[in-house]
A and B are shown apart, each in its own frame.
Chain A
Amino acid sequence: MTAQSDWVKWDAKEISYEIHSPTHHDYTIDKSSFGLRILSYARNAYYYFISDVDGDNCPFFPSCSAFFIQSVKESNIFRASLMFTDRFIRDMNLFKNNNRYSLHATKKYIDPINNYLLEEKRIILTTGEFIE
């Protein structure tokens, strides 16, 4: 007989027959504050009229627009603008350093906002492929 890998007690689990579709943008409105609510509406308008139409161009995860929204939530609009600008310039780099970024399950480069908040303890680095 062969060794098992179930070192944690498990229960019955049904396997879904459905095909997994790639996830699209999250249109949920953030109602935690007035500013974030407005930002959510603006973001949704950008998604619907531009981002969903011009194809999947961003090589990073999270995408640049999501990066900006998360940055605003974590800090303030000014710092978020600086972070976004830096991200956009790195996006424009045609010769990206592959060793610098790990790969997400969607084959995009992982580039979380934690790494750009200027707090060393919050920096997230992963080696190898990221499995979601």
Chain B
Amino acid sequence: MDISTRLDSAQALYDSGDYAEAIELLHIGRFDLNAEVAYNIGNCYTRLGELGEARLFFERALLLNPKNADARHNLDWIQLRLSDAIVDPTQSLGQWFSIQLRGFMPNEGWLWSALVVLAASSLLLALRKWSAPTMNWRWPFTITTLALVFIGLSWWSTPKSDLCIATAPSTYGYSEPYGQGKRILLLSEGSAAQLRKSSEGWFFLELGDGRLAWFDASQWGHVLPPEVKF
């Protein structure tokens, strides 16, 4: 089944109320990091009443495309119903800047810009070498600098996130990994935390209020799975 057929089938399943099957069809390789696909999967989970998973995918949709107003709307709707979740972790300045960049232009746009300006820089340098030796060196220098700036912005606008969302109805936090140590926290579905480190199926997470605990990784979802590379 090609991609467009799968997407059409998923839409049909969604319309007929077969949300679980629609989710299976929407998980298509490289499309896992497509903002619209993540949004649609989030919708399916919302319909299933699994608001933790739904939040995870709406967060992913917004990470990939901060201008996705529908994802923002649905995430707000979800969060109203996840009012028993803890305070969300605060965004770092770097993450904020990255979101602003993607809001201005998608990551691909920055990459294409960097490529074009870099090509222009190479062209000018070649001209100066073999065709116009009297050309002032400041021209290629300025264009090369601009290309470097665009490369930097491309890197910065690449979505990055260490945010995890609790997808199980409730999840215990332990003072030690592997279920050892004391139970020190109980979080409900949809709670968000930042991943600090992981160890063989256990996440060491920092909550929005600064508390730290080990959690069973199977009860959490990573907004940007580390195994998926851009």
Please indicate whether A and B come from the same complex rather than being unrelated chains: no
Q: Which of A's residues lie within 8 Å of B, judged by CB?
A: none
